[in-house]
Structure 1
C-alpha cells in the first residue's frame, strides 16, 4: 500500500466493520494515521488487493522495535464483504505471514518468532482461515462498555495522591508508567519515545480526558490513563465514545484503589463533557486485576475478540 491509499483503506475498513463488527470506523484521516504509523513498513509489510480503484482486501504487518525472549509481529487485514469466499482472505493471510517473516529477519533474527492476528470471536470464517494456516488461539480480549449517566459513581482519590491532567511537560511520565506496567503483560516490552509521541498527535487523542495520579510526597507518577475518541465512530453510530487506553499502574501502588479511582474520574469527566458512553479493551489474562476492576465500575462486556498465533 501507499500513503495515497488512505481513502480507499477507510472505505474498505468501514465496509468490513458493517459485516464483521470490530467496533471501529475510519475517516480518511484515521486511515492516513494508520498508513503513516512508525512501525508500518509499507514496502515489506503491506499488501492491497484492488478491483479498479477500489480496495477490496488488505493485510499489514507491524514488527516490534524492542523485543525480549520472543519477537511478536502483529498482522491485520480483511476482505470486503462483496468479495469474500473467493480465496482472497487465505491469500492475504499468507501474504501477512510472509511479511511478518521478512520483518522478523530484518529486526530480530536472533529471537524466536511469533505471528499474531486478532478478530471478533464470532467471525467463524476468519477463525477457520487462521486455523487452516496452522495458527492456534492463545488469548482472549473483552471489549467493555459503560453507559455513563447515572451509572457513574463518585470514588475518592486515595490518600497521598493528587490528580493531574495530561500536559506537554508531563507526557513522558505517562510513557514511563505504561512501560513499567507492560513488563507484567504477555510479551510486554517498553515502547520507545519516538513511537509513543506520534500517538499523542492523533486527532482522536483527548488530552482533556487523560490523567495521572501523582504521589504527593515523592512526586512519582503512580497511575496513568489516556482517552481517545474517533469522530468517524460518532458519525457512524450516533454515540460519542470515550475509549480508554493505556490505563497503567506502577507495581508499588497496586491494591490500593489507585486504578479504580482514576477510571472513575475519567468516567465522570467523560459524562460531564457530553460523551454518551465509555469503552475499554481488557486482556482476559491480565495478571493485575482483569475485568473485575471495570465490572465494579459499571462496565459490561460488549464483545470478545480472540488472538491466534503462529510460532515458528
Structure 2
C-alpha cells in the first residue's frame, strides 16, 4: 500500500520575537479595537486614501474563506499594545493570495515589515498547498503560488521593501476625482433601459451581473454570496447613492454603480467625497451609454446628498476603455497606486 504523506500543519512559523522585539500570535475578536487603533495610528502618519476601521476588521474575522487563527498575525510590545500585524486573504480556487499589513510608525525601520512579508510568503505557499484545486492535479496543472500586495505610489518605504524582497510591479491604478460644483452631465439612457436604486431585492441579480461584467478584468475573481453580502453590509455602503440599469424587456441587469461615503475621511480632508466603489456593464450592453448614465446619475445623487467630489479608481489598462470615459466626463487623476506580485516556490 502506498503511504500518503502526512498533511502539512496549517500554521506557519511566526516572526521571531528576538529579531522583531514583539510577541506574535493570531488576531482574535477581542483584538478588534486595538487592531483598528494600530491601523489608525499608522494612517495618521502615512495618510492613505482609505484604511480599514473596526467594522471592516470584524467582517474580516467572520470570513469563511480565511481562518484568522492561521491567516493573521499580530505583534505586541511588552505592554501588550499591538505594534504590527499581517494577514493574507485567498479564495479557495483563486490564483493569488493578497497580503495586508502595517507597522506602527514608532516601530518602523526595525525589520518588522520584512519579517511579516516572510510570514505572508510562507502562509501563501501553505494556502496553495491546502487548496482543493491542487489535489489530484498533475504538477504542471497546479496553480503557482502567488502573493499580491497593493500600495499607493507615495508610500516609498513600502516600495523599497517590496522591491528588495523580490516583488515586481504588475499593474497601475489611478484614483480620479470630479468636482461637483459646476455643471453636471445629463443622464442619457438608451430606450428600453431604466435606472433603479439598488435595493436588497436586487442584490443577487447584481452580484451575478458583476461576475459576468468582470470576467475580462485583470485580477478579478468571482464574488460568492458571502463576499457580496459583506460588500452590501460594508459600514460605508450607501444604498441611496447606488444604482442599477435594468433592461425593461428582459428584466436583466445591464449595469450597476455601487457607492460609498466615508464621513471620517470627509472630516479629515475638509470635503465630502461620493466614491464609486464598483461600476460594471455587461458585455451585451456596452456601447449604449450605460456606464456614462450610471456615473451621471451618481453625480446628481452625490450633489443632492451634499457631496463635493465624485471619485473612483480605475485600472490603467482597463480593457473596456473606462479611463477614456472618465476623462471625458470630467474626472482627473489625483493619485496612483500599484499592484506588486511575487511568484513563490510551491510547498
- Decide whether the 8 Å contact of 2:61 with 2:67 is kept in 1: no
5+ unaligned residues in a row in structure 2: which ranges? 1-26, 135-141
Aligned mates of 2:339, 2:68 — CA distance in 1: 23
Superposition map of 1:256-295 within 5 A = 256-295=288-327
Aligned mates of 1:228, 1:112 — CA distance in 2: 35
- Judged with a 3 Å threshold, the aligned counterparts in structure 2 of structure 1 residues 308 and 197 are, in CA distance, closer, same or farther, namely same
Aligned-partner SS, 2:121: helix
Q: Which moved more, 1:183-192 or 1:82-91?
A: 183-192
Superposition map of 1:189-204 within 5 A = 189-204=221-236
- Judged with a 3 Å threshold, the aligned counterparts in structure 2 of structure 1 residues 39 and 151 are, in CA distance, closer, same or farther, namely farther
Aligned mates of 2:162, 2:335 — CA distance in 1: 20
Aligned mates of 2:263, 2:51 — CA distance in 1: 9
Q: CA deviation at 1:166?
A: 1.1
> 1:165 aligns to what?
197
> 1:15 aligns to what?
41
- Judged with a 3 Å threshold, the aligned counterparts in structure 2 of structure 1 residues 290 and 175 are, in CA distance, closer, same or farther, namely same
Aligned-partner SS, 2:200: coil
Aligned mates of 2:213, 2:255 — CA distance in 1: 9
Aligned mates of 1:215, 1:241 — CA distance in 2: 30
Q: Which moved more, 1:30-39 or 1:227-236?
A: 30-39
- Decide whether the 8 Å contact of 1:161 with 1:215 is kept in 2: yes
- Decide whether the 8 Å contact of 1:25 with 1:233 is kept in 2: no
Kindly report the root-mean-square deviation, in angstroms, between the aligned alpha carbons of the 2 structures.
Answer: 1.8
- Judged with a 3 Å threshold, the aligned counterparts in structure 2 of structure 1 residues 30 and 228 are, in CA distance, closer, same or farther, namely same
Instruction: Pick the structure with greater CA Rg.
Output: 2
Aligned mates of 2:183, 2:65 — CA distance in 1: 39
Q: CA deviation at 1:212?
A: 0.8
Superposition map of 1:45-84 within 5 A = 45-51=71-77, 52-67=79-94, 71-84=95-108
> 2:22 aligns to what?
none
Select the residue among 278, 303, 314 that pairs with 1:246. 278
Q: CA deviation at 1:236?
A: 2.9
Superposition map of 1:209-220 within 5 A = 209-220=241-252
Aligned mates of 1:238, 1:39 — CA distance in 2: 37
Aligned mates of 1:21, 1:40 — CA distance in 2: 28
Alignment pair present for 1:97 and 2:105: no
- Decide whether the 8 Å contact of 1:241 with 1:277 is kept in 2: yes
- Decide whether the 8 Å contact of 2:260 with 2:276 is kept in 1: yes
**For 1:52-107, what per-residue CA distance to the aligned partner results, in whole angstroms no more than 9, with x for missing partners?**
2322111110001343xxx1110011111111111111111111222222222212
TM-score, normalised relative to structure 1: 0.93
Q: CA deviation at 1:207?
A: 0.7
Q: Which moved more, 1:248-257 or 1:229-238?
A: 229-238
Moved over 6 A (4+): none
